[in-house]
Structure 1
Amino acid sequence: MAPKRELILARRGSEKRLRVTVPGAAAAAAVAAGGGTALASPAKRMLRKIVLVLLFLLRMSERATRVVSISQIGHMVQKLHKKLENMQEQMEDISHEVKQLKHLYSNRHADQHPGLEPNTNIQLRFLNGLKTPVYTEKNITAENNETIRIGIFEGENMITDGPLSKVKVEIIVLRGDFSNDGQVSWTEEQFNNHIVQGRDGQGFVLGGDRSVWLKNGEGCLGRIRFKEGSSRTRSRMFIVGARVSKSENTGVRVQEAVMKPATVLDRRNEANEKRHPPMLDDQVFRLEEISKDGTYHKRLKKAKIFTVRDFLKALNKNAKKLREEVLQMKKKTSSWDKMVGHARDCCLSDQHELKEYQSEEGNVKLFFNCVHQLVGAKFGGDYVMYDNLDPAQKTVVNNLKEGAHARLEDISSDYVMKNNNPEPVCTSSAAAAAGPLNPSDHEMPHQVTEAAENLGHCVVNCMTEPVPPTEEQDLLDPTNSYGLLEVRKIVDSVAYKCSVIVNGRVLKRE
């Protein structure tokens, strides 16, 4: 029977050692020293290997220490903070849903007892809408940067006299999901429960003049701004609302006013604001994926591409060159697709001017719009839109297009699109569109032109001494060289000092 083996963990100071002891091992060792030989069995060799592995792992576990850097601690704190914010939003959502259930119950209760809060026909109303986009720390205005106005109404009529026409109104902020079901009336409790408090649960979301006094039933908001964005709310939107101040004792219920929901963005995003749709004269960084003073913006400016119009011209001329050489994008990416797609959204419906490029043979004419996009071609006398060209016509057009793009900047827009057909610009119609001239402007060209025509039929001998007219001679008599010379001096003087407008163009004396 094999001897029993024992594993003993011995400690020497701070070190730990694993030792295997076998009863009678000392005696066996003595026999071996005396001249006997004892070969280790396979089981013993395997045991030794296992012991060595265990010893190695034990030492490594003692020496291994985990070092946590400050950046890792900060990352962990950020994760924890984000989780806490998510928990806070979930708690707010749950609280909001509980309030909605409470309101639903109260509404049913109110329907059973209509005398609790009678419906009123008196309402506050905003008289104009909110200009978007809205940024924090920037005064809110109506469209065209006008002041936001508010009024008090009874039915469809503004209340212009009496106590209600001069009440104090306070401006507040509601959650973006208030009245999202299209309801036009609500209780005071429903309105108040949707009011948004500051980020810390205290204070106001709005800053500035948060109240206004009505005068003759109407008032204008002062300098008022958002102090924080709407990203923390579930709907990601805010609603500007107004109610009669609690300090006012009106004796009747006045329904509050609300605007349409709007997203309130951080003011730091204003520099990179993207327009939807973009305008031709917008700066090129208004396009998606192009940040102001960013890498793409600098590369575009270096290529003299400053506006959306310039971008579209370069895109229509050579899209591959714009992507690879100017923007230095080696392959098509989602950024390129977004950039081009946003630029293509630019509205060109009111741009009717066309440029014409004619082939050297004169049998084909190409027509380009204001951003040098090929819109069609004329073969002989027949105009064909680009989308309707057959394969043979497209081949001809594409061969001519490259040469046309090299000269388009020097070609004027002499055509307009009418009823899907290019027509030459009529100068007379352009002059008529310019509007009527002053009476003096009508008379002067006529007088000067008529005098010039009369002088054109007369030959004045400047080498001879002019003879003063007799009493019987007319001043403008062709035989009277003196009179003709004086008239010509007058005409030249007037033509030199005045501009003559003919057929809508300004002609000056050479």
Structure 2
Amino acid sequence: MAAHKRLHDGFEQDPDQPEKKRMERSVSFSTVIREAMVMKQVQSVFLVLEPLLRRVVQEEIQAGLVRSPRYIERSSPETPPAAEPPALRLAFPFPPALPIFTGSKIEDVHGEPLQVILVDAVTGSPCGALPQFMRVELVPLFGDFPPDGREDWTTGEFARGVVKERAGKRPLLTGDVGLTMRDGRAVVNDLQFTDNSSWVRCRKFRIGARVMPGSYEGGRVAEAMTDAFNVRDHRGELYRKHYPPALTDDVWRLEKIGKEGAFHRKLRQNGVETVQEFVRMLTVRPEILRAIMGDGMTDRMWEVTTSHAKTCDAGDKVYAYAGHGATVYVNSLCQLVRLEFAGVECAAQQLSRDQKAYVHRLYVEAFEQRHSLQEAEPLPAAMLLHASSSSNSLPMLQSKQPGRAAAASGDAALVPGQPGAGPPDRRRALRRPGQLWLPDVPEQLQLKMQEEQSFSCVH
């Protein structure tokens, strides 16, 4: 009976066993597939992260070695324990001009080739000629070298501060990286960076100079380095500002005016495309220029832009514009540099209000016809009015504030007896109201001028 029951139970369990095994096999197979796919994805991530992690670890280890005193290069048994400080050192007499872009030639702040000189380590004075020449190597350094802001370092520390180029990149510093120093001076005619500084931890580089081993048999010569600076991608050079701006520069070279930006488009639509045109309008018609820029340019931005524009060099060219009995001379920026009445030079401080009104009229006409002015002979420096003070000497030539007319009213200036109008005379009494009388111009000429046209102050 028991045997029959066991046989019966076994018979009842047999139909379920194949199904259960099939499910186990199915579950195991799907699990293997999922695990294989996950492993493949993880391996792909590792392939991407591995070079990044290696670079980060390499930079941190290198920085740690520079800072750790345990890794300072040990002296060889033949070297004395305490080496004497170097008597000579290299130096850069002038820092490099900033900003520095990749692929661009590096020059000093005076626009001359960079130089390396040999100086006394204590006094810093240049040394004379050495009995032999020495070879100097230029290298890129980390911007945060030397460690802890120290002013001295060992040869080993300097070597560890040299920046290695990124994998697959050209040498970081190219050009005249190997120099021959004669008479204590070496000139760097060609030097440029091939990569920007954004990928290093401190985001800055220095240029270092050291004596090549074996090229000098004397004592140690201390290395030189420049201040830290950023190296930008050369694409940014296309949009950089100029200091000072040139007359022919595009107007977007000025501060706060971006290329193809809103201000640039407004100026271009009004015919102001160069720095020269911008300064001309700023000198003669500042209120119109301010209106062109609109409310989008704040007073602070306006101050920055105009201050930058005023650093533009006007050059030596002088242009003349003649009226009836008077001639105004302006420079390339429409700044008044000389006045003549009846062929005689007149100082700006000696002008009456009537004369200022007339000069202002000629001055504005010269601006409006600036593209057809005739160039005059260069004037001696002693005969030129100071361009920056001419507007102060002739307050009617410029508005006191952008967007407003001149403070003085032309009608008030022409009425005899008003303060500052000068004593009345026979000729003043005979003129009609609103007519201009020039004291230094002959009477017949002025009567003829009155017949041709009447003048009024330009606001």
TM-score normalised to the size of structure 1? 0.46
Number of the residue aligned with 1:40: none
Is 1:383–1:421's contact at 8 Å kept on the other side of the alignment?
no
- How far the C-alpha of 1:391 sits from its partner, in A, is 5.2
C-alpha distance in 2 between matches for 1:253 and 1:328? 63
Instruction: Find out whether 1:284 has 2:251 as its counterpart.
Output: yes
Q: 2:45 matched to which residue of 1?
A: none
Offset of 1:277 from its aligned partner? 1.6
> Which residue of 309, 330, 339 maps to 1:368?
330
> Aligned pair in 2 of structure 1 residues 409, 177: CA closer, same or farther (>3 Å)?
farther
Correspondence 1:70-469 to 2 at 5 A: 116-125=82-91, 130-138=96-104, 140=106, 156-159=127-130, 161=132, 165=134, 169=137, 171-175=139-143, 187-188=154-155, 191=158, 206-208=172-174, 212=178, 214=180, 224-229=192-197, 238-244=205-211, 252-259=219-226, 261-325=228-292, 327-329=293-295, 333-348=299-314, 351-360=315-324, 362=325, 364-379=326-341, 381-385=344-348, 393-422=355-384
**Root mean square deviation, CA, Å:** 5.1
Shift of 1:220: 5.8
Q: CA deviation at 1:319?
A: 2.5
Q: Work out the CA distance in 2 between the residues paired with 1:211 and 1:244.
A: 12
Structure 1 residue identity aligned to 2:364: E
Structure of larger gyration radius: 1
Tell me the distance in 1 between the aligned counterparts of 2:313 and 2:155: 44
- Alignment partners' CA distance in 2, 1:136 and 1:355: 42
2:262 partner letter? T
1:231–1:237 CA contact under 8 A, matched in 2: no
- Counterpart-to-counterpart distance in 2, 1:176 and 1:392: 65
Partner amino acid, structure 2, of 1:408: R
Q: Deviations over 1:10-31 (max 9, x none)?
A: xxxxxxxxxxxxxxxxxxxxxx
Query: Which position in structure 1 is the counterpart of 2:395?
Result: none
Q: CA separation of 1:138/1:160 partners in 2, compared to 1, >3 Å: closer, same or farther?
A: farther
Deviation digits for residues 11-64 of structure 1 (CA, Å, limit 9, x no counterpart): xxxxxxxxxxxxxxxxxxxxxxxxxxxxxxxxxxxxxxxxxxxxxxxxxxxxxx
Shift of residue 244 of structure 1? 3.9
**CA offset at residue 328 of structure 1?**
4.9
Deviation at 1:128, TM superposition (A): 7.6
Gaps of 5+ in 1: 1-87, 107-113, 424-510
8 Å contact kept, 1:291–1:297 = yes
1:390 and 1:179 mapped to 2: Cα distance? 69
CA distance in 2 between partners of 1:237 and 1:226 (Å): 14
Question: CA shift at 1:205, angstroms?
Answer: 9.3
1:354 partner letter: V
| Aligned 8 A contact 1:238 1:261 in 2 | yes
Closer/same/farther in 2, CA of residues 397 and 127 from structure 1, 3 Å limit: closer
Q: Secondary structure at the match of 2:82?
A: coil
Q: Work out whether residues 136 and 181 of structure 2, in 8 Å CA contact, stay in contact via their aligned partners in 1.
A: no
- CA deviation digits over 1:327-357, x for unaligned, max 9? 4557754333322221111133xx3433333
Q: Is the 8 A contact 2:146 2:153 kept in 1?
A: no
SS in 2 for 1:416: coil
Cα deviation digits, residues 211-259 of structure 1 (max 9, x gap) = 537587968687641522379887x864311224579996842211223
Q: How many residue pairs end up in the alignment?
A: 309
Q: Report SS of the residue matched to 1:130.
A: coil
The answer to whether the 8 Å contact 1:136/1:228 transfers is yes
Question: Residue type matched to 2:127 in 1?
Answer: E
SS in 2 for 1:413: strand
Compared CA separation, residues 306 and 179, structure 1 to 2 (3 A): farther
Q: Secondary structure at the match of 2:374?
A: coil
- Inter-partner Cα distance in structure 2 for 1:222 and 1:378: 52
Distance, in Å, in 1 between the alignment partners of 2:320 and 2:147 is 55
Q: Which residue of 2 aligns with 1:430?
A: none
Secondary structure of 2:222 counterpart: coil
Give the letter for the 1:383 counterpart: C
Question: Do the aligned residues in 1 keep the contact of 2:139 with 2:173 (CA within 8 Å)?
Answer: no
When residues 198 and 421 of structure 1 are mapped into structure 2, their CA distance, relative to the original with a 3 A threshold, is same
Deviation at 1:409, TM superposition (A): 2.7
Give identity over the alignment, percent: 22
Partners of 1:152 and 1:159 within 8 A in 2: no
Q: Do the aligned partners of 1:123 and 1:255 also contact (CA within 8 Å) in 2?
A: yes
What letter is aligned with 2:372?
A: D
- Name the CA shift for 1:230/1:385 in 2 (closer, same or farther; >3 Å): farther
Contact kept, 8 Å, 1:172 with 1:241, in 2: the verdict is: yes
**1:346 aligned partner, one-letter code:** C
Report the AA paired with residue 321 of structure 2: Y
1:394 Cα deviation after fit: 3.7
Distance verdict in 2 for CA 1:345–1:176, change over 3 Å: farther
Distance in 2 separating the partners of 1:248 and 1:257: 17
**Contact between 1:275 and 1:287, CA under 8 Å: does it hold in 2?**
yes
Structure 2: how far apart are the matches of 1:301 and 1:180? 52
Give the letter aligned to residue 339 of structure 1.
T
- Aligned equivalents of 1:355, 1:258: Cα separation in 2: 49
Give distance in 1, aligned partners of 2:317 and 2:206.
Answer: 42
State the 1:383 CA deviation.
1.9
One-letter identity of the residue aligned with 2:85: N
Query: How far apart are residue 116 of structure 1 and its match?
Result: 1.6
